[in-house]
Structure 1
Amino acid sequence: MSTPRISVVIPAFNAAGYIAQALESVAAQDMADLEVIVVDDGSSDGTAKVVAEGFPWVTLLRKANGGAGSARNLGVAHARGGHVAFLDADDVWLPGKLQAQWSCLQGEPHCRFCCTAFEHWFPEGGETEVSQPGTGEMVLDPERSGWVYHLLLLDCFVWTSTVLVERRLLEQVGGFDESLRLGQDYDLWLRISREVPIHFLATPFAHYRHHSRSATARGAQANYGARVLEDAVRRWGVCSPDGRCADPQAVRRRIAGLHFAQGYGHEAAGRRLWAWREYLACLRYQPGRGKAWLHLLSTALPRSVRQRLGEVLPR
């Protein structure tokens, strides 16, 4: 059996309604020597059946539910290609994606990680058409390419479904942190950005599907986003390996914002203690954030008062 050039790894959890479209977008790539691995992460909706019956050329792995990070790690462990491309089961690629990225890997010196721009897609809101990329050319975005750790602290512009990465690099940095149910991809891109330059193609080559059943929409009680950022800053500070740095106050404001948003979500769900903790964490990073003080105080009030305040408190 010949060694594939690229292994495509697709984690899937209850994605029976989406996985076919994702796999069709892979099949549409003008790229030979592909290996496609779908990891069914404990689905209960027939996802594995859709893959097995409709796409016999796909390698299907099954495991108990453990999160997207563990599913991707399993897929990478079974991958035979020298490079790995990730695609979430509810997203789609656009034609020419892999070829453009492969050209980047071959044409740019020391390129071991390439990602692309993407477009947000809202099919539940009636946006059914998937647009096509404006060009299949390899156009590097100079603002988001190079040593970009300091930029990623302020904006995670690397999206998992656009990543093509050397498999040895994944092994070098240790893969996805399976203790993170959300944000495990952000954590990995930060670690990789400490090791190699990032190459970012400016052309959108994928569509990020927004829907009510996604892991992002469901959220989590733990604040994984803040945890990832806080761990990165403790470990490496705010400067990239080439010496360029993020504004420390801007980083603190971003972490504060993540804590505030998480606190607001807990407050809306009636988890007062969780909300109180998140608002306190927000204020440790940004003591002058007046909205956080107001919401912190509201969590200590009786329910009837909180309900009335909830109509007027700023979000």
Structure 2
Amino acid sequence: MSRLLSIVTITKADRIGLVRTKASIEQQQNCPDIEWVVVGATDSDLEVVGSGPAATGLCDGGISAALNLGARLATGRWISYLNSGDIYAREDVLMRVSPVLERLNANRIVVYGDFYEAGDGFRHLRHANRDTIQIANSINHQSVFIGRELAMREQYDERLLLGMDYDLWLRLDRWAEFHHLGFPVAEFHWGGRSSRRDWASHQVMVRYFLRKLNNREQMRARDIWNLSVQLARAWVRHTCINSVAPGWQSRKGRTQHAKRPKGF
């Protein structure tokens, strides 16, 4: 019988983050039926974490290719993607979610929770909501539990460098069910390319609707409205980043805000 859960960690030259993520996994209470899969770790990285990973792999492609490789290496019925440096929100997260995973259909249901965004000097709780997925992405893949068979069927698009999780949610939204846990699952560490999810979300949404048009799918009034909203949000964000943010950077004490302008 397969394990209940595989935790897949993607890393690249981040030993400190890898140790931090390993510590979070080891602190999870009463969860023996899990395995840890690490993709992208070198031999020296693995020496730092010591024993722990049940499987490891190297990937020459981008983040999407690494996530897909992690799913192929996993043996659990469910997968949790916890990237290097990210941690679970509390020590009892997996203990609380395990009974839910045991009773739900891993081949059709995506389980997700809320999450924290954290960085130097801040930690903010973000509430995930599938109901607004057609307008904006509020689901963080670190707070998602997805069935392995489902992850193999609907893989991350390896052509995308950013926003690959939002692209996956939009595809799954057509036929899969989503189950909200109602509590924070993970703490997402702000930093790196995947942190640019706001701008990437706009691009993915526009690409999604253009693909529907290309396939001659019927566009409902709601679809046209959502596309218009995304184009407007993308234009406003682009304007703020290119005109407002440089002004913030030139002012003393506002550098931190310029690095991370609030999304719309």
Query: TM-score, structure 1 length as denominator?
Result: 0.64
Counterpart position of 1:166: 147
Alpha-carbon distance in structure 2 between the residues aligned to 1:206 and 1:48: 27
Quick check: which has more Rg, 1 or 2? Answer: 1
C-alpha contact (below 8 Å) 1:105/1:112 kept by paired residues: no
> Is 2:113–2:143's contact at 8 Å kept on the other side of the alignment?
yes
Once the two structures are superposed, the pairs formed by residues 51-66 of structure 1 within 5 Å of their partners are 51-58=46-53, 59-64=55-60, 66=61
Structure with the higher strand share, 1 or 2: 2
Q: Deviations over 1:247-268 (max 9, x none)?
A: 7435422232224434654679
Specify which of 164, 183, 188 is matched with residue 208 of structure 1. 188
Residues 210-260 of structure 1 deviation map (CA, whole Å, 9 limit, x = unaligned):
23xx1145x59xx743331123224559xxxxxx99574354222322244
Q: Which amino acid aligns with 2:40?
A: D
Of residues 92-101 and 152-161 in structure 1, the stretch that sits farther from structure 2 once superposed is 92-101
Q: 1:109 to 1:67 in 2, by over 3 A?
A: closer
Q: What amino acid sits opposite 2:234 in the alignment? A: L
Q: 1:84 to 1:245 in 2, by over 3 A?
A: farther
Cα RMSD of the aligned pairs, angstroms, is 3.3
| Total equivalences in the alignment | 234
Deviation at 1:112, TM superposition (A): 2.3
Structure 1 unaligned regions, length at least 5: 42-46, 132-140, 238-243, 271-315
Within-5 A mapping of 1:96-135: 96-107=92-103, 112-122=109-119, 124-125=120-121
Q: Distance in 1 between matches of 2:45 and 2:203?
A: 36
Q: What TM-score do the two structures reach when normalised by structure 2?
A: 0.75
Deviations, residues 170-207 of structure 1 (Å, cap 9, x unaligned):
1222x101111110111111111212111111211211
% identical equivalent positions: 21
1:1-315 equivalent positions in 2, closer than 5 A: 3-29=2-28, 30-40=30-40, 48-58=43-53, 59-64=55-60, 66-93=61-88, 94-107=90-103, 112-122=109-119, 124-125=120-121, 144=129, 148=131, 151-173=132-154, 175-211=155-191, 214-216=192-194, 224-235=200-211, 248-262=224-238, 265=241
Is the Cα contact below 8 Å between 2:6 and 2:76 reproduced in 1?
yes
Task: Specify the SS of the correspondent of 1:202.
Answer: strand
How far, CA to CA, are the matches of 1:89 and 1:61 in structure 2?
14
